[in-house]
Amino acid sequence: MLGLELVVILGITVLTCSVAARRLRVAAPVLLLGTGVALGFIPLLRDVELPSEVMLLLFLPALLYWESLTTSLREIRRYTRAVILTSTLLVIATAAGVAVVAHAFGMEWGPAWVLGAALAPTDATAVAVFARGLPARSMTLLRAESLINDGTALVIFGVAVSVTAGGETFSFGNVSWLFVLSFGGGALAGVATAWLAVQVRKRLDNPLHENTLSVLTPFVAFLLAEVVHASGVLAVVVCGLILSQIGPRLVRADTRTQNSAFWSLSTFLLNGALFVLVGLQANTAARDLSSTGVLSGLALVGLISVAIIGVRLLWLFTTPYIIRALDRRPQQRQLRSSARSRLVNGLCGFRGAVSMAAALAVPEGFPGRDLIVFVTAGVIIVTLVGQGLLLAPVVHWAHLPEDTQFDEERAMAILTSAEAAFEAMPKIAAELGTDPLIIERTRREYEKRLKLLRQGDAEDDEDHPYRRLENDYQALRLAMIAHKRTTIVRLRDERQIDDTVLRNIQTQLDLEELRLSRREVAE
């Protein structure tokens, strides 16, 4: 019965904390995490445990898939070098820094490296929540880093656990092979799953069936990678990024609308429940700590939190200058960021679900397991609560320049697609055999629309509630929407607009198409 009670408690907590966070203007994860810790004192919930398999196999595939579907591949390509460095070398440096501090505190090197690997990766879901208001460049770098760095950390974690437990001997060749297998195998698994999803989707013609496939896709990618001992996280991310490029051509408006609504609600609930469960697990970790005193454990939490933040800030204030000295190309100068922007990014190194899952995956009987779980839970709380609350005033102090690129590209894309549809109207109407009266009616509406757009009017005439449209008028409008959608996708492919701009306009076109076609979202 506890399972049902836990579901109800989690649902009420997520709803209550989310509403309270908006009214109090506090990040929801802070309240969710704190409430989770408090719930751990309730006798009914004292025995609740969060298996690492649940995090890795249920929460992560779904959350990372949606994050990868909604991120910007163009910006990732633009900042490829920075993303690769932060998701590999920075992870290794962070793991090493944590291991040194833990060893100096008295922990053996093996468990110290296990702890360092668990705490090395940033959390994609926490970054998405806390860093939502940052400029597009910062958001892209942070999201891409948190999506990819899990693979590096989990390889270090696996090697450290195996070597400490006596399962294998550490060697450079062995570790190199594990990295190649993790990243290469994960990427291939993601590509294979994306290809399979596309082939199956082409044979489906029902929104419910297509979205069932969408739900299965991240779990298939994760499972396929795990079978070959590769990175399931990277497989999900690669699969999501590929489908984010193919989807606009393949997925219908009704399917996409239903899909977006489902994933938005699902990830909201999963995110909220995950923060509450991490808080519950932190309470449990404090009660189970036996290898050392709670005060000593808290001291280690504080030292390692400082080490994690320090390593990140040291990285962000050294490597950019090294790169500038080595690469003086003009196009690279445009990618440089200010010291204030790097300071803000330094405070966005939130830890979360992957770290907790890794710590809980440490085998029973492993030296210092209770301390590893306790410190990991403590550092997660420190980074989420401490850095989360500190981020807003620091962003206010930094006065980061306003990013208008999105708005400019959106305005350009709307005008370009409307002009292209207007120019193609005679040909489309001829193919459909549209009545001349309907053609003239549509022409006048588009001329008015274009006049407003060329004058910079922000009002969106596409939202007018068209009613009692004749069949010819409806068919012509739908065909022109399809032409506009094709133009938007072309602009994205030519890298004139960002994926985010495409999705924003595509949503409006989808809603208009659904209105005009009167199709049900779920058939």
Helix, strand, coil percent content, the chain, rounded in steps of 5: 80, 0, 20
2-398: what fold? Na+/H+ antiporter like fold (1.20.1530)
- The confidence score (pLDDT) of residue 118 equals 92
| Rounded Cα–Cα distance for residues 379 and 121 (Å) | 12
pTM of this prediction exceeds 0.75: yes
- The confidence score (pLDDT) of residue 520 equals 41
Under 8 Å CB-to-CB from 363, ≥6 apart: which residues? 161, 165, 369
| Rounded Cα–Cα distance for residues 68 and 84 (Å) | 16
Low-confidence ranges of the chain (pLDDT < 50): 1, 458-470, 519-523
- The confidence score (pLDDT) of residue 464 equals 41
- The confidence score (pLDDT) of residue 169 equals 63
| Rounded Cα–Cα distance for residues 153 and 116 (Å) | 9
| Rounded Cα–Cα distance for residues 167 and 333 (Å) | 48
- The confidence score (pLDDT) of residue 288 equals 84
| Rounded Cα–Cα distance for residues 110 and 163 (Å) | 7
- The confidence score (pLDDT) of residue 166 equals 67
| Rounded Cα–Cα distance for residues 488 and 497 (Å) | 8
3-state secondary structure (DSSP) of residue 464: coil
Angstrom CA distances, 199 to 151, 193, 213, 260, stand at 27, 10, 11, 21
Write down the domain spans for the chain. Answer: 2-398, 405-517
| Contact present, 130 and 350 (Cβ < 8 Å) | yes
